[in-house]
Structure 1
C-alpha cells in the first residue's frame, strides 16, 4: 500500500481517501461514491474531470478519451489518475443524487444456476450468490465477471432488481467470456464478480414521463428498470422502444407485455430492422428512426438509451437535434472490450 491522500470533489463538496496504489475512481467506488464512468480503462471520456489543485499522475490512456491539449490544460481521467498529494478536482459530468446514493464496490462469489439460449446469439445467464447479504446494487447497474482461469473480466448489466443475478449476454465468435456460454460453462460452475458499477438508474426525484430505447442485449438493464417500476408502483408514464434485427432476436417480449399490464401508463413498441414475418404488424426500421417518427415531444421526457455504439450515437444525435436537455438523457453504451469480445 502507498501513502494516503485526501481528494475533494467540487462542486458537490464530497471528500474521499485515496491510496497512491489505486486510481481515484476505484477509491471512490470502494467508499460508495458513484462517480460518472464508462469503460474504467481510459478508453472513453465519461470520467473526465479538471484538476484544480494537487499532484497526480495518470496511467496510459487513449488520446481519443483525453486529447494531449486537454491534458496540458489540466483535464484528467479519474480512472487513470493516481494521487500523490491531496487533490481538489472539479467534476464535469455528474449527477449529485447518484453520487450520494452509491454503494460500495465488492468482490463476491457466485455459481451458475442456469444457461438458456433465448435468441440465435444471446444467452440468458443466471447466477446464484454465495452470500446474498454481501452484494447490494441499484437496478440498471452492472458487474464485472472474471473470465475463469484469468485475471481479466468482462462487464455485463443485470436484468434483475434483487437477489440472484440475471444477464442477457450476446455471444461473439471467439469471445473470451461469451464464447464460454455454449461450450465452456456449465450449471454449478463458479464465477467471481465485482460491482456494482454504472449510473444507468432511475432518477426517482424526477416525475417526467420515461422513454426507454434498447437494442439487442441492451434490453437487460431496461428490463431491470421496468421491473423496478412495477415493484415501486410508479405512476410515471413510460414507453419502451426495443430494436431487434429479426423476430427471432426480439427476446422477452411476452414478459415486457406482462409488465406493461401492471403499469399505469405504459406502451411497448418493438421494432424490426432487417426482416419480419408477413403477419408482422409492428414497427420496422432502425429503432432511433421509429423513435423520431413517433415521439414529437421528447424535450419533456427522461430518455434512457442502452445498446451497441451505433444505436447510442444515433440516439444521442437525435436528442441533441431535438434540444433535449443533457440532464434528462442517460445512456449505457455496450462496447466491445477487445477485438474478440
Structure 2
C-alpha cells in the first residue's frame, strides 16, 4: 500500500514537471526556429538591396531603373515593417548605421533624371548604403546569433532535465515493478509450498499421506541398507471402523480418526514417522527399531486406547501388522509385506498383532 502511494506521489510530482519542461522546450525550439528563419530573411533582404543598388547605379535612365527601383522600394518597406520587439529592429533602425535613411536617400536619388552631379551623388550614396549594409550584416551575425545560441543552450538544458526526470521516473517505476514481481514470486512460492504441503498431508489428521510415505520409506531403506541398521514398518487398522461409522455417524468416525492419530503421534520417538495411507489405515516407519521393540510399541498404543475415554467408550481396538526391512527391499515390497501381516492380524480378530515371516502367521 505504501509503495502504491509512493508511486502515486511520484506521478503527481514528476509527470507535471515533465509536461511543463516538455512544453518549455517545444516553445523554445519553435521560437529559435522562427528567429533563425527571420534572421535568414532579413539578411537575404539586405543582400538583395545591395545587389539592386549596384544594378541601379549602373543604369542611366529612369526607364531602365524602373524594375530595380520598384523591387528596391519593396525591400526597403519590408525592413521598415520589422516590429520594435524584434531582435533585429535596433540594428536595422540604428542611428549609427543610418541604414533606412541611406536607403531612402538612394531611392530618391535614383528616381531623378540622370545628370553628372546626380550620378556622382548616387555613387556616393551607393558606397554609403553598401557600407551600412555590411555593418548591419556583421551586427546581425553577432547579436541575434548570440541570442539564438543562448536559447539553444537553454533548450539543451531543458532536454537534459527532461531526460533526468524520465530516468528518475523509469527507475522509480522499475523499482516498484521489481518489488511487486518479487512479492508475487514470493507469494507464488508460498502458495506452491502450501499446496504441496496440503497434497502431502491428510487434512483430517494432519498426517503425511501415502505419497510422502513412499518418499520417506525409500530414504530410510537406503540409509538402513547402507549402515546395516534395523528398520521396521508397522501398519495399523481400526477394527470394525465401518460399523463404527454406520452406528455413530461419519462425524464421530472422523473424530475417532483424528483422536487416534493425535494419541499415537504424541507417543512416538523423534526418528519415527507416522502416516495415514488409507481410510482407517495408518503406518509407522520406525528406523533403528527391532521387531521386539515394534511389538512393545503396539502394546503401548493398545493400552493408551483403553485409557482414552472416547476410545474406551466405543471399545476401540486395532489390528497390527509388522514387517522388518531386509536386503533388496523397496518401499513397495516392504508395504506388501506389512499388508500381508495386517491381513493375518485381521483373521485372528480385534487387537491381534501379526509379524511378517513368523511361523505363527
- Return the TM-score normalized by structure 2: 0.18
**Larger strand percent:** 1
* TM-score, L = length of structure 1: 0.19
